[in-house]
Amino acid sequence: MFRWMGHINQSTIATSFTLHIELHIERRAPALLFFLFCLPVWAVTFESDVAPILEQHCQRCHRAGEIAPMSFETYAQTRPWAAAIREQVTLRRMPPWFAVSGDFENNPSLTQKQISTLREWADTGAVEGPAQSLATPAWPSGWNLKRTDASFEMAESFAIPASGAVDYQYFVISTKFTQDRWVQGAEIRPGARANVHHVVVYVREKNSPWLRDGHMAIPPKSDILLIYTPGSDARMLPAGMAKKVDAGSDLVFQIHYTTNGKAALDRTKIGLQFAPSVPLKRVLTLQMGNSAFHIPPGNANFPVLVRGTLPNDAELLSFFPHMHLRGKAFEYRMIPPRGPAQVLLRVEPYDFYWQLDYVLRQALKLAAGTKFEWEAWFDNSANNPRNPDAKATVTYGEQSWEEMMIGFFDVAVPAGVTKEKFFERAGRQENSLPR
Ligand code: HEC
């Protein structure tokens, strides 16, 4: 019954959407024709109207060496995709973005006017137009960081098999840093893009036992330097903020490889841009998650909640929600010391293949004691086309057919505060924010 209703709803939405578009065109057609007859020079062209939009919103991914399989840098490359572009932007599938509200500085979404321009271009023959004298951007090849002061690569390639599950792999790389380093920008570039499902780069302190003598568990005090998932960009922190890598630290790459029928070799690397001086604020990546859930078979909307309290004052900078194939929506809420609960980010639909960072345009200053509440919803019904097994009771696990519920978030704290110190609370010991 539920499944059926879901289907009806979807097609109703689709139909009314199409209707809306058609009406829109019909109303505009006479005006458009008028313009075409009288003032042909006003036609939307690739060179003057489309290229600037592509540069600003699409070429980050749609260019050689980046994630998208087709480039949109020249007219010749883009022309065959005009109809597909029209469709993707009309349905707001491209550029990928899933926050339903909030003000995020990395929101690449198009304005309604830009969407209309791309549609009109496709509808009027996708013409090239006279070349513009405007300089086209010189995209970097390789690193997207302005400057790469240091880079670290896996010592040798990892052989990804053609099929089967691959356990998380850990690669330890010595930084050989003889002095503490403040990292303002970082970028992870996977070798085998089609197989690298995620990379988490941790900073392992000098005397940490992790990955030595059989110590496997990730120590809670090891900070995360950067996370990569498909769609990730290089990350630049604002002026005056940086991540710290102490002298003598190692980097640990935790990589999840997925198989796709073809064997491949991967050699992932990370590039770092150092801060010009010791910053005022240190950025820490924290996480709060729930791993004690049982998602019943067939349930189409199973909620999982986790709560915690901020142990010390901090500025909230960004979010990164993480679930697997049954993930449906994810919400970050805070309950300030005074005042009602506030939604910080709602991601819907959650898309396993587009796990994005959501960077607040305005950092949020929060007081110790602020209560957080993250909630995630899972679709374990047969109606979810990505569901690996709708008959399974699903619990926490690393592989994609198992589930996870983790809300990562970045905070800025005074430069002298370590991750360990941040979790020390003044006075009474409360429930600790899970790390
Ligand atoms: C974050 C990276 C990213 C950005 C930004 C992005 N794309 Fe894409 N795009 C992709 C990837 C990856 C694919 C191929 C996989 C897919 O279809 O999801 C794709 C596929 C497409 C396709 C082909 C869909 C099909 O029919 O197969 C079109 C058309 C497209 N993008 C248009 C755009 C336009 C137009 C923009 C900018 C307004 C844009 N994209 C921005 C990553 C991106």
Domains of the chain are: 2-37 (no CATH), 47-123 (no CATH), 140-279 (2.60.120.230), 280-435 (2.60.120.230)
The residue contributing the CA closest to ligand 1 atom 19 is 68
CA 296 to centroid of ligand 1, rounded, Å: 34
- Confidence band, pLDDT 50/70/90 cuts, at residue 433: low
- The confidence score (pLDDT) of residue 429 equals 47
CA 311 to centroid of ligand 1, rounded, Å: 41
Task: Provide, rounded to the nearest whole percent, the portion of the chain with pLDDT above 70.
Answer: 87
The residue contributing the CA closest to ligand 1 atom 10 is 68
pTM of the model: 0.86
CA 62 to centroid of ligand 1, rounded, Å: 7
Question: Distance between CA 143 and CA 156 in Å, rounded?
Answer: 20
Q: What is the mean pLDDT of residues 135-157?
A: 87
- The confidence score (pLDDT) of residue 204 equals 96
Question: Distance between CA 244 and CA 420 in Å, rounded?
Answer: 13
Task: Provide, rounded to the nearest whole percent, the portion of the chain with pLDDT above 90.
Answer: 76
Q: What is the mean pLDDT of residues 312-319?
A: 97
- Are 24 and 119 within 8 A, CB to CB? no
Three-state secondary structure readout of the chain: CHHHHHHHHHHHHHHHHHHHHHHHHHHHHHHHHHHHHHCHHHCCCHHHHHHHHHHHHCCCCCCCCCCCCCCCCCHHHHHHHHHHHHHHHHCCCCCCCCECCCCECCCCCCCHHHHHHHHHHHHCCCCCCCCCCCCCCCCCCCCCCCCCCEEEECCCCEEECCCCCCCCEEEEEECCCCCCEEEEEEEEECCCCCCEEEEEEEEECCCCCCCCCCCCCCCCCCCEEEEECCCCCCEECCCCEEEEECCCCEEEEEEEECCCCCCEEECCEEEEEECCCCCCEEEEEEEEECCCCCECCCCCCEEEEEEEECCCCEEEEEEEEECCCCEEEEEEEEECCCCCCEEEEEECCCCCCCCCCEEEEEEEEECCCCEEEEEEEECCCCCCCCCCCCCCCECECCCCCCECCEEEEEEEEECCCCHHHHCCCCCCCCCCCCC
Question: Distance between CA 51 and CA 419 in Å, rounded?
Answer: 45
- Are 359 and 232 within 8 A, CB to CB? no
- Are 352 and 386 within 8 A, CB to CB? yes
Residue, of 12 and 381, whose pLDDT is higher: 381
Give the mutation target among 72, 73, 88, 356 for probing the ligand 1 site: most ligand atoms within 8 A of CB: 88
- Are 202 and 224 within 8 A, CB to CB? yes
Residue, of 340 and 134, whose pLDDT is higher: 340
What Å distances lie between residue 106 and 38, 55, 233, CA to CA?
A: 40, 15, 10
- The confidence score (pLDDT) of residue 31 equals 47
My answer on whether omega of the bond before 140 falls inside 30° of 0, hence cis, is: no
Q: Which atom of ligand 1 is closest in space to residue 60's alpha carbon?
A: 5
Question: Distance between CA 27 and CA 12 in Å, rounded?
Answer: 23
Q: Which atom of ligand 1 is closest in space to residue 110's alpha carbon?
A: 38
- Confidence band, pLDDT 50/70/90 cuts, at residue 36: very low
- The confidence score (pLDDT) of residue 231 equals 84
Q: Which atom of ligand 1 is closest in space to residue 81's alpha carbon?
A: 29
Tokens of 75: 């007219």
Q: Could you read off the pLDDT of 175-224 as tens digits, one per residue? A: 999 999 999 999 999 999 999 999 999 999 998 999 998 888 888 889 99
CA 326 to centroid of ligand 1, rounded, Å: 23
CA 122 to centroid of ligand 1, rounded, Å: 16
Give the mutation target among 46, 50, 55, 61 for probing the ligand 1 site: most ligand atoms within 8 A of CB: 61
CA 353 to centroid of ligand 1, rounded, Å: 13
Q: Could you read off the pLDDT of 264-291 as tens digits, one per residue? A: 999 999 999 999 999 999 999 999 999 9
Q: What is the mean pLDDT of residues 109-118?
A: 97
Q: Could you read off the pLDDT of 378-408 as tens digits, one per residue? A: 999 999 999 999 999 999 998 889 999 999 9
Instruction: Name the nearest CA neighbour of 57 among 107, 5, 122.
Output: 107
**What residue type is 220 in one-letter code?**
P
CA 194 to centroid of ligand 1, rounded, Å: 15
Say if residue 22's pLDDT is above 60.
Answer: no
CA 94 to centroid of ligand 1, rounded, Å: 5
Half-sphere exposure of 303 (CA within 13 A, CB side): 6
Give the mutation target among 54, 58, 77 for probing the ligand 1 site: most ligand atoms within 8 A of CB: 58
CA 68 to centroid of ligand 1, rounded, Å: 6
Say if residue 435's pLDDT is above 90.
Answer: no
Give the mutation target among 92, 94, 111, 197 for probing the ligand 1 site: most ligand atoms within 8 A of CB: 94
- The confidence score (pLDDT) of residue 17 equals 32
Pocket (CB within 6 angstroms of ligand 1) = 57-58, 60-62, 67-69, 81, 84-85, 88-89, 94-96, 108, 110, 231
- The confidence score (pLDDT) of residue 23 equals 33
Q: Which atom of ligand 1 is closest in space to residue 88's alpha carbon?
A: 29
Instruction: Name the nearest CA neighbour of 315 among 422, 425, 186, 426.
Output: 422
Q: Which of 4-18, 372-386, 420-434 has the lowest mean pLDDT?
A: 4-18
Tokens of 110: 């198009």
- How high is the mean pLDDT of the chain? 88
The residue contributing the CA closest to ligand 1 atom 13 is 68
Question: Distance between CA 122 and CA 126 in Å, rounded?
Answer: 5
